[in-house]
Structure 1
Amino acid sequence: MTKPIPLIGSGLAAIAALITPSIALAHPHVFAEARLEVETTADGYVSELRHVWRFDEVFSSSVMLDFDMDGNFELDAGELAKISELVTDSLSEFDYYTTLTVNGVDAAFTLPEAIKVAFQDGQLLMFFAEVPSDKLPLKGKIAIGVYDPTMYAALDFMNDADMAVTGSSAATCARAVIRPDPDEIIAQNQDSLTEAFYDTTTSNDLSKLLATRLELTC
């Protein structure tokens, strides 16, 4: 079980900590406003899970300092591509902080392209889409959660509208946004979660229980 010390400091170290398996921290060090769109098709299937993460200005400034190789206070296409390559390769180990279940059973998904990275108004943005590995009909209960099990990053859906269903079949299912109380969840599951806090690479129990999630009842 690997427990490297979390890296805190420069932008490169912060990104390394964001994507490196680490002991769970008492509180997050990176903050991002998140949005999730569940895209649906006219024939009643989920086609994509679309994510946008807008990171806080402190973290974004650190990234700028470390990846702005020519010192012009801008991230050009090549510099952004380096960040994209780094996070795309590494976040796959954490399923891009996403959990997907159908009637309580895990469902697989893939990332068809690289995580895109942009820098706008002093903030770093990451956006990407995941595709269900198998056809995912809008039937039963579908739950999509977003959570960093290492607790290094806090991905915050500011409003319930930031977890949306889009596309031709958006009105097919009843929609609910679930925001678990972390203290209550941990208290109720203390024994089973003890190992999960120290072994985030092999267990997604934390993500399933603590994630802000969108539940669709169809």
Structure 2
Amino acid sequence: MLVQARALILSALLALPPLAAAAHPHVYIDSKLELIYDETGRLSAVAVEWSYDELYSLLIVTDLGLDPDGDGVLDYDERTRLQGFDADWEPDFDGRLYLTTDQGPVELLGPRSFEADYRDGRIVSRHLRPLSSPLPADAALQLQTYDPEFYVDFTLHGPPRFLGRDDCRAALDQGNPDAARAAYRAALDAALLEATDDAEAELVTVDIGGAGAGALNVICGSATTG
């Protein structure tokens, strides 16, 4: 995940026993997607919106010294200071956004155009992920957002918005959160068995891939699924 995100959440977890801290995700994000098509109808970018859970949002707001009166409203200067709080991505961080077609994975460029706001007790941030090469107009597409380390639990909401086309449709597969948790628990137990001491156990990370992840299946024009 993000360098800053891990550092902030870690400070709130230090008082927990290692297994308690590792037994579930530490951040919960509701994710929405917006598909952006160019003038020829090709998919050129995906806009990603992340709504962070209330606890994590409070940790960020407190760490940045925002909303000192606790009324849940940020003034202009405070909103300005919030911008880019989650933009400090590690070089190999993939943004936890995965696009695939029948031809395989779709390459995305790095993020840009970060924006953030704070409303109803939650930080809502937005960024843009351009495709390295626009997709053909009628390519069937699957989009997923998940964390293979299960540090963050993403919930994908749909349908997405379509900008630049009016002949696209999407079907949302909600996935199976129980499958993700079971895969994480099994992977964590296996990793802890290999740990040689408590210090190593505290640093255990796992990779469950896309187990249980939801998916948006998108078709446009004459494209078909299956």
Alignment of 1:63-212 (within 5 A): 63-68=60-65, 71=68, 74=74, 76-77=78-79, 79-81=81-83, 84=84, 87-90=86-89, 93-111=92-110, 113-158=112-157, 162-172=158-168, 174-184=169-179, 198=205, 200=207, 206-207=209-210, 209-212=211-214
- State the secondary structure of the residue aligned to 2:51: strand
Segments of 4+ in structure 1 off by > 4 A? Answer: 69-75, 182-187, 197-200
Q: Is the 8 A contact 2:176 2:214 kept in 1?
A: no
Question: Aligned residues: percent identity?
Answer: 21
Indicate how the Cα distance of structure 1 residues 184 and 55 shifts in structure 2: closer, same or farther if over 3 A, else same. Answer: closer
How far the C-alpha of 1:98 sits from its partner, in A, is 0.3
2:195 match: none
Alpha-carbon RMSD: 3.5
1:21 match: none
TM-score, normalising length: structure 2: 0.66
2:9 match: 14
TM-score, normalising length: structure 1: 0.68
- State the secondary structure of the residue aligned to 1:59: helix
How far the C-alpha of 1:25 sits from its partner, in A, is 4.3
Per-residue CA deviation, residues 39-90 of structure 1 (Å, 9 max, x unaligned), is 2234221122111112222211111111117956547255314xx1x52232
> What is the distance in 2 between the residues matched to 1:71 and 1:179?
38
Per-residue CA deviation, residues 154-183 of structure 1 (Å, 9 max, x unaligned), is 22235xxx23141232414x5221222255
> What is the distance in 1 between the residues matched to 2:91 and 2:119?
25
> What is the distance in 1 between the residues matched to 2:39 and 2:66?
46
Aligned residue pairs total 187
- State the secondary structure of the residue aligned to 1:135: strand
Q: Is the 8 A contact 1:31 1:56 kept in 2?
A: yes
> What is the distance in 2 between the residues matched to 1:15 and 1:113?
26
Unaligned runs of at least 5 residues, structure 1? 1-5, 18-23
> What is the distance in 2 between the residues matched to 1:212 and 1:57?
22
Report the structure, 1 or 2, having the larger helix content. 1
> What is the distance in 1 between the residues matched to 2:98 and 2:11?
22
1:3 match: none
How far the C-alpha of 1:91 sits from its partner, in A, is 5.7
1:27 match: 24
